[in-house]
A and B are shown apart, each in its own frame.
Chain A
Amino acid sequence: GAVVSQHPSRVICKSGTSVKIECRSLDFQATTMFWYRQFPKKSLMLMATSNEGSKATYEQGVEKDKFLINHASLTLSTLTVTSAHPEDSSFYICSAWDRGLVKLFFGSGTQLSVL
Chain B
Amino acid sequence: KQEVTQIPAALSVPEGENLVLNCSFTDSAIYNLQWFRQDPGKGLTSLLLIQSSQREQTSGRLNASLDKSSGRSTLYIAASQPGDSATYLCAVVSTGNQFYFGTGTSLTVIP
A interface, CB within 8 angstroms of B:
32, 34, 36, 41-44, 46, 49, 91, 93, 95, 97, 102-104, 106, 108-109, 111
**B43 and A34 contact, CB distance less than 8 A:** yes
Binding site for A on B (CB under 8 A): 32, 34, 36, 38, 40-41, 43-44, 46, 49, 51, 87, 89, 97-99, 101, 104
In the complex formed, the residue of A with least CB distance to B101 is: A106
Known A-B contacts A93-B99, A106-B99, A111-B97; A46 and B41 likewise in contact (beta carbons under 8 Å): no
Contact A44 B87 (CB under 8 A): no
Alpha-carbon separation in the docked complex, A70 to B63 (Å):
38
Contact of B46 among A43, A49, A93, A102 (CB under 8 A): A43
A23 to chain B, nearest CB (A): 13
Residue of A nearest to B44 (CB): A44
